[in-house]
Chains A and B, each alone.
Chain A
Amino acid sequence: MKCKLIISLTITCLLVMSACKKVIEVEPEFVKDGSQIFRTLNDYEFALTGAYALFRATGYFGTGGQTNATWATLPDMMADNLLQTGEDLGNWVTQVNWTYATDENDIEVAWIAAYSVIAEANLVLRNIEQFAAAEPKKVNRIKGQALAIRGMAHFDVLRFWGADFERNSASLGIPYVSAVDIDAKPARLTVKESWDNILKDMLEAEKLLADVDKAINTASSKAYFDLVAVRALLARMNLYAKDYTKAESYASMVISAVPLASRTSFTNIWTDASASEVLWSVPFSAGEGSPSFGVHIGSSNRNRFSPSAFLAARYDQANDIRFPAFFGSRGTGSSTPVTPYASVARKVVNKFLTRGTTLDNLVNWKALRTGEMYLIRAESRALQGGAKEAAGLTDLNDLRAARITGNIAAVLTGQALLDAIALERRKELFGEGHRWFDLKRTSRTISRTDPVLTSTKLTLAPTAREWIWPIPQSEIDANATIKPQQSPGY
């Protein structure tokens, strides 16, 4: 009897012992634990890819079901280039009609989208120096891009949330995040301090990317920040900061590196058949969303925003290569093709519709182009005045000549020249996410003359609080430091 008892007890013990602690030592197989990566420089490169991919996120360049592509097409919708139609079902009416408050979800999504890119860039930058001695040029390549990403995303935040863009302004700027710390409660810096940080990152990126182990982009693909793209971004930043000599000089560097596209190539840019004059573009493939679903959904033919008729009338429609590349018309029905602008009454933006024949809104988001560099240089030179003004006019005429067949060079000075440059920006960069910021940094007045819906609000005064986006309520609630720094008027 005792023997049996011992046997059964032993069996029981064995069964129990087999269930040792190993049972709950389960490791993730389909995701990586943080402790498993950042061991080699390749892991850092993986994370860099992750940071780039976040530019596609909903609220940055991507359109979501409920959130617009904040830095892609939204700035044109909030201004006077794109006009809301009934087919949008009122989805982005708070932004388009400037009725947002601190609890506006889309604004929070945009805020998080930008800082997510920054957080991922900071993960790339954390401890990357440990490999600098062994592989300096590779470190330069990865670190330079991460810095440019961080600078770019902060600059984009500043564009919406900055009270103004003066280089030395003491007005409210943005929090600058340069380290990985989830408990941080950063304050809003002044605009000057924001610029200090942004430009520091950008200048270091410029330095590092000049000395790398291998080419970052190819002739046909400009998906990454290389030296030219960083300089193009610096040109744009300096224009905003009103540092016109630097803006001019960076624009010149880019123009000499990457000339304007030929007229044939220009049309091909919008179907990604050519990467001519593209400096940085974010690729969108099937299953990765689209930056332009908010404008015109090609597949289902839902025309949510139609192009401004006022603007369309400003083009030399017969001779301007940009016009047919940007503007079209289309009858209803999902299989109806896009036709030339004059064909039917329903006008559509056809700039972002397709790479080939399928109207799937899948084209790369062209974030930086040489065309913009001409306009930056023209404006910088015109504003510097004196002998430079004429050079600015030449830039404007050069750009027009490249786009318009048989263009006759204009002769303009003073305000007339500046107005012509501003109109040319509208025409050249139509739908590319500049208009709201151009108005914000120059006149701060919106006047819509050709609304589609009766509910569309027509004017936004320079004094309106809406020019400066509110810090999202959730940020105010979670971050005591920023609490007393809400944008004025909210």
Chain B
Amino acid sequence: MRKMLALILGCILSFTVQSLSAQSIITGKVVVEKDGTPISGATISVKNSRLSTASSFDGSFSISAPANGRLVVTYVGYKPTEVAVSSTPLVIQLTESLSPLLEVVVTGYRTSSRRDLVGSASTISAEKIRNTTLGSFDQALQGQVPGILVQAQSGQPGAAASVLIRGKGSILGSNTPLYVLDGIEITAGDFSTLNPSDFQSLSILKDASATSVYGSRGANGVIVITSKKGKSGAPRFNYDVQYGSSTQPENKLKVMKSGEKLDYELANGNPFGWTTSEVDSLRKVETNWEDVFFRTGRTKNHVLSASGGSENTVYYLSGSIFDQTGTVQNTGLKRYTGRANIESKAGDFVFGTNLSLGYSDFKNTSENNTGIATPLNAIRWLNPYETVYDNDGKFSSIVSGQPNAMQELLLNNNLRQQYKGVGNIYINYNAPFLKGLSFRTNWGGDLRVNETTVYTDPTTATGSGATGGRGSFGHGSDRVFRYTGTTSVTYATEFGADHTLSVALFNEIVNSKGRNFAFTGYGLGGAFQNESGITPGNATNGFIPFVRGGGGENALLSYFTDIHYGFKNKYFLNVGARRDGSSKFGANKRYANFGSVGASWIVSDENFMARLKNSFFNELKYKISYGSSGNQAGIGDFQSRELYGRSVYAGVSGLVQTQLANPELQWERKTTFNTGLEISLFNSRLRIVAEYYNSLTSDLFLNKQLSRTTGYASLTSNIGELQNRGVELSLDGDLISTKNFTWKANISFTRNQNKVKKLVGDQTEIIGGITINRIGESINSLYVVRYAGVNPANGNPLYLDLNGTETETYSSGNRVIVGSFESPYFGGFGSSLNYKGFEVSAFFSFLTGNKIFNNDRTNVENPQYLTDNLSVDLSTEWRKAGDITKIPNPTATFRSATTRFVEDGDFLRLRNASVSYSLPQQLFRSIKFSSVRFFAQGQNLFTWTDFRGFDPEISTGSLDGAQYPALRTITFGLNVGL
């Protein structure tokens, strides 16, 4: 303390000394060079002195400086600028900096410049996702930065993507990253009621140094989202509007046409007993079920925002409407959001709130299953000689007994209304009595309410299958509220000439509580298709309603610290430690400690680099870190306990054991080593980040196998180890950069190698269906028998045995690993050209090296499903000795777990292409607009893949069936600022 006082004294003294020389008051204004926008909060300091000030909300400043002195103006994200002192008011123009080390990175609990950041974090600016036409913003992250694998999974409007940071670190637990919005944990995979254009930036935290402060939730990486803050000054308005349309992508799995199917039926026993005249008339019917189900979807998006404020209070307000209809009839998403971010300063206090409210209306259809009542399966399964409507205009009944899928799709509905509120309030207090000491508390919550209604019409197969056989109406309500409260004290100081130190202590509480209730009533078909339509049950009508409900709760209590030390602004050291207590774990294992240590070094600032630095070489940073974080997601709230749930028998309620106890259950622990280089070359026009990581998850959640005579298959335990290691590379270049013409290009690439290191006891493998987790191999390796075609002599399928010899005998003993669902290589690349405001850009994403099991094909290549439509390939099945074909004779036993249905998952996709034109300012300045930009963009316009389905983006590795392909969307839009 005494030393601190000495420092402060020193400051005051130096101030006094400076004041003694000839001073005059200099005034001026700091603005952005490009468009003249005032910059508030820029630091203006007098060179070679300790005097400094900050620009106010309108960019103006005043400072006393010697008449012959120079002023240095700095602001994050802009190039430092030096000007000579002048007696007339100065207008200091700052140009945006390309230097990567000046970039701001928000790591959740701390904001730092990339220069002193020790950990591995990638940022994605708001601009990249501002105009996304995807209902769930995570879809837009695909290929943008290395280390993060984003797969669409579904094209249903509003569907969340599968997001994976640096490979799968858990087998049984969740692999989903932690999402934090303005310091508040938000529910992963539930973003369709958030407006992505409210986001300022996203940081993807990848290594232990960055994630260990998130302790037991950080192992899968963290995505930190910061919403837009207001900027002081006159109100500025922005209006973004887009209109567009979507179509389904090309289908590569062809099914038979009427003639082909009828010929096939006749060749295989004529199961429906068609007469010749029936066959002749059916041949004339040709229904393309793809055309029946798909349509052109429409997208509309309006976003209006306002930002401004006084010197002490700033605000950002926005409202949006997003309306998208899917390519499948009767599907879509309508979203309305509003946001208010307000921050105010009063003396030593800064306080504010960020609040987002949203409402979404979803119309969904069931997907990714093999159900016969799932309309999307009908595209494959319904015979082409069937029609949607009969001659009387009624829904036709399908000969094979399958439901009329169009009737199912149009008459039934599956609606969801989501109400979502995410908000926080915070108070920051900068202690006036000790510079650098501050206190902060931030409390907020994520409230989500889903109201789901499912109506089944009595005339549909689903409706007639309902209790009582007369349709159903279900209404469910599901509410989850999670609050996060973080309280911290931070002390940041400089001492000596070269030392900076920041120490922060935190306490955090996270509590999540959910409750749900649902009823399904029966006996519909009257005047109403809602709650009013339900017929009360009685002893004879059988309309007994189905009522259910439940809930859960979990909580986390944490104490943690983050210590950051810098020396000569060149050497940085970061230490993080966190102690977490979780309600999820066994009494013996409630608390766990996580921590990390990391260092970075600005090599380019060393003297020995001086020569290089003055030529093409601008910056070189080296970083290294090691540490641990945990995973507690993906298991139940009370997974460690022996549980009993409600059970009903003969109308009497009782209890049934639902879970066995494991008091030793604890966190999965992921230990990560990370090292990397950040380089910028050629006047910072080429920026390179290269990283290597090696992480090991231990105490893996795995199922300890039990003798099934216990009534249970397994018990969730902490056993096993899993490794992910890889390389990430990103290149970002301004190939041409002149005043009127720029050409930019970027590449991100990730190589991730996943390996199972240890399983239960001395077990070397766990087989689950067609996959295996074997020590030394990637998780989710495909484990099937190799298919070797057809024996021309008898049409029987041939398989390879373990020695590679062909055999007609199928044996599960001949299964081998033929690849993995996990993707070892993925990334993206893009380029943009800009000439006088006219811009063309394209962005591609790719993935290679993974396998997909195409279960959809097993259902149309199985000759047993003769009564439904089949793949065109079956027309080439073996019929007589000597036939050379890949399709066996139809009486041979059909086996699906073979390489016959394993396909490469490789694809290259034109993820986004856009053309835009920003009007020159002089054109509209007179009407007070600050910017006007027209654009047209396309999502998923082309995909190059051999995968035989609609879409190769399948994160689960197996396409079960009923795929809702990712939308191919073209939109036209306008951004206006005033």
Listed in ascending order, the chain A residues whose CB lies under 8 Å from chain B are 1, 4-5, 8, 11-12, 15-16, 19, 21, 23-26, 28-35, 37, 43, 45-54, 56, 86-87, 89-90, 93, 99, 101, 103, 108, 111-112, 115-120, 123, 175, 177, 181-186, 221, 223-224, 283, 285-288, 297-302, 332-335, 355-360, 362, 454-455, 472, 474-475, 477-479, 482
Can you show 6 pairs from A to B with CB atoms below 8 A apart? Answer: A33-B644, A50-B655, A52-B650, A117-B711, A221-B650, A479-B708
Q: Is B610 an interface residue (CB 8 A)?
A: no
> A33, B590: Cβ atoms under 8 Å?
no
> A175, B709: Cβ atoms under 8 Å?
yes
> B642, A24: Cβ atoms under 8 Å?
no
Residues of B within 8 A of A53 (CB): 647-649, 654, 656
- CA of A31 to CA of B712, assembled, Å: 18
Nearest A residue (CB) for B654: A49
Interface residues of B in 392-443 (CB under 8 A from A): 397, 399-401, 403, 429, 431, 433-434, 439, 441
> B708, A120: Cβ atoms under 8 Å?
no
Contact with A along B548-563 (1 / 0, CB 8 A): 0111111111010000
> B708, A30: Cβ atoms under 8 Å?
no
Contact with A along B839-867 (1 / 0, CB 8 A): 00000000000000000000000101111
Q: Is B707 an interface residue (CB 8 A)?
A: yes
- CA of A87 to CA of B400, assembled, Å: 8
**Segment among B537-545, B733-741, B792-800 that sits at the interface with chain A:** B537-545
- A8 touches which of B431, B648, B893 (Cβ 8 Å): B431
Residues of A within 8 A of B551 (CB): 29-30
Besides A49-B652, A99-B893, A479-B707, 5 more A-B contacts (Cβ < 8 Å) are A15-B487, A16-B507, A30-B550, A112-B713, A300-B465
Residues of A within 8 A of B401 (CB): 87, 301-302, 332
Task: With both chains docked as a complex, state the minimum distance between the C-beta of A19 and any C-beta of chain B, in angstroms.
Answer: 5
- CA of A454 to CA of B644, assembled, Å: 48
Q: Is B941 an interface residue (CB 8 A)?
A: no
- CA of A30 to CA of B271, assembled, Å: 51
Residues of B within 8 A of A24 (CB): 555-557, 581-583, 590
Task: With both chains docked as a complex, state the minimum distance between the C-beta of B70 and any C-beta of chain A, in angstroms.
Answer: 37
Given contacts A16-B487, A47-B656, A332-B397, contact A355 B542 (CB under 8 A): yes
Contact with A along B219-232 (1 / 0, CB 8 A): 00000000000000
Given contacts A33-B642, A286-B542, A360-B467, contact A12 B489 (CB under 8 A): yes
Residues of B within 8 A of A43 (CB): 655
Given contacts A29-B551, A34-B642, A50-B647, contact A4 B581 (CB under 8 A): no
> How many residues of chain B get a CB closer than 8 Å to chain A's CBs?
90
**Segment among B196-204, B657-665, B874-882 that sits at the interface with chain A:** B657-665
Residues of A within 8 A of B271 (CB): 86
- CA of A279 to CA of B642, assembled, Å: 35
Residues of B within 8 A of A288 (CB): 648
Residues of B within 8 A of A28 (CB): 552-553, 637-638, 641, 643
Residues of A within 8 A of B708 (CB): 108, 111-112, 115, 472, 474-475, 478-479
Main secondary structure of the interface of B (DSSP, over half): mixed
Tell me which of A4, A8, A54, A297 has the highest count of chain B C-beta atoms within 10 A of its own C-beta.
A8
> B544, A286: Cβ atoms under 8 Å?
yes
Residues of A within 8 A of B468 (CB): 286, 358, 360
- CA of A32 to CA of B651, assembled, Å: 20
> B397, A19: Cβ atoms under 8 Å?
no
Residues of A within 8 A of B865 (CB): 89-90
Given contacts A50-B655, A472-B708, A474-B705, contact A26 B554 (CB under 8 A): yes
- A286 touches which of B546, B550, B556, B559 (Cβ 8 Å): B546
- B431 touches which of A4, A183, A359, A477 (Cβ 8 Å): A4
> B439, A8: Cβ atoms under 8 Å?
yes
- CA of A118 to CA of B649, assembled, Å: 16
Q: Is B509 an interface residue (CB 8 A)?
A: yes
Q: Is B804 an interface residue (CB 8 A)?
A: no
> B507, A19: Cβ atoms under 8 Å?
yes
Given contacts A286-B542, A334-B461, A360-B468, contact A15 B650 (CB under 8 A): no
- B509 touches which of A19, A332, A357, A475 (Cβ 8 Å): A19
Task: With both chains docked as a complex, state the minimum distance between the C-beta of B483 and any C-beta of chain A, in angstroms.
Answer: 11
Nearest A residue (CB) for B769: A105
Task: With both chains docked as a complex, state the minimum distance between the C-beta of A112 and any C-beta of chain B, in angstroms.
Answer: 5
- CA of A112 to CA of B864, assembled, Å: 30
- B657 touches which of A1, A21, A123, A362 (Cβ 8 Å): A123
> B487, A34: Cβ atoms under 8 Å?
no
Q: Is B956 an interface residue (CB 8 A)?
A: no
Residues of B within 8 A of A48 (CB): 654
Tell me which of B469, B555, B650 has the highest count of chain A C-beta atoms within 10 A of its own C-beta.
B650
> A33, B641: Cβ atoms under 8 Å?
yes
Q: Is B715 an interface residue (CB 8 A)?
A: yes
Task: With both chains docked as a complex, state the minimum distance between the C-beta of A432 and any C-beta of chain B, in angstroms.
Answer: 20
Residues of B within 8 A of A221 (CB): 650
Nearest B residue (CB) for A66: B370
Q: Is B742 an interface residue (CB 8 A)?
A: no
- CA of A37 to CA of B161, assembled, Å: 42
> B507, A478: Cβ atoms under 8 Å?
no
Nearest B residue (CB) for A297: B465
> A454, B467: Cβ atoms under 8 Å?
no
> A49, B705: Cβ atoms under 8 Å?
no
- CA of A474 to CA of B522, assembled, Å: 41
- CA of A116 to CA of B509, assembled, Å: 39
- CA of A334 to CA of B463, assembled, Å: 10
Q: Is B511 an interface residue (CB 8 A)?
A: yes
Contact with A along B889-908 (1 / 0, CB 8 A): 00101000000000000000
